[in-house]
Amino acid sequence: GAVVSQHPSWVICKSGTSVKIECRSLDFQATTMFWYRQFPKQSLMLMATSNEGSKATYEQGVEKDKFLINHASLTLSTLTVTSAHPEDSSFYICSVTPNIQYFGAGTRLSVL
Amino acid sequence: GENVEQHPSTLSVQEGDSAVIKCTYSDSASNYFPWYKQELGKRPQLIIDIRSNVGEKKDQRIAVTLNKTAKHFSLHITETQPEDSAVYFCAVSNSGYALNFGKGTSLLVTP
């Protein structure tokens, strides 16, 4: 199966700052990666589909200018939460899908 | 879009009993149905999956059944153990596309 590395695993930041989360596919060239968000005691919700070399596709209700996605290579996608606010505090998790979905370890973001 | 309903939201069973969790979906084009186990603060772990050309799949104490006509699939855990306690999510997708998750079932297995 695919090995997915996600960093950082946990980040605390002040309101108004930006946070970058990296998702690396270590043994699979991923033209597509997915970004999910999970609020406490809730399910995983797809935020966006990251496409290598082109713009990401965002789900309804997800602000593309707030959640910047860059997928510049076949092994790396980044999600930047810009001007983070407390309501952005959540568990962010990426996945790649050579056949089934393989998830990164997730990033717990806490915005103070 | 796809709508995935999962029931029950919480389930408490005695150790050794069976647990069954059910999901329904709306998009008849969906063809991939995985089940994930998630422990607190960790990534979802795939425990079993089934594709639309199969009606049932079993892996030791875990089984999944799929009824494509009725658009529902179920997770069956037999001989439950305390370490089975976790949140379980069903999901639905068209192969290669993103997953649509159910809302989750919190399973508690009491000794």
Residue A107 near residue A91, CB atoms below 8 Å: yes
Distance between B11 CA and the closest CA of chain A, angstroms: 15
Residue type, B27: D
Band of pLDDT at residue A99, cut at 50, 70 and 90:
confident
pLDDT in tens, A29-74: 888 999 999 999 999 999 999 998 889 999 999 999 999 999 989 9
Residue-by-residue DSSP string for A82-112: -S--GGG-EEEEEEE-SSS-EE---EEEEE-
CB contact under 8 A, A46 and B100: yes
Residue among B32, B96, B104 whose CB faces A43 most closely: B104
- Sign, CA dihedral A39-B108-B16-B111, equals positive
Residue type, A8: P
Question: With 0-12 CB in 10 A as exposed, 13-18 as middle and 19+ as buried, what is A109?
Answer: buried
- Please tell me the distance from the alpha carbon of residue A45 to that of residue A39, in angstroms, as a whole number: 9
pLDDT in tens, B7-44: 999 999 999 999 999 999 999 999 999 999 999 989 99
Chain B interface disruption, residue of A57, A101, A103, A109, most B CBs within 10 A: A101
Residue B1, pLDDT score? 73
CB contact under 8 A, B46 and A106: no
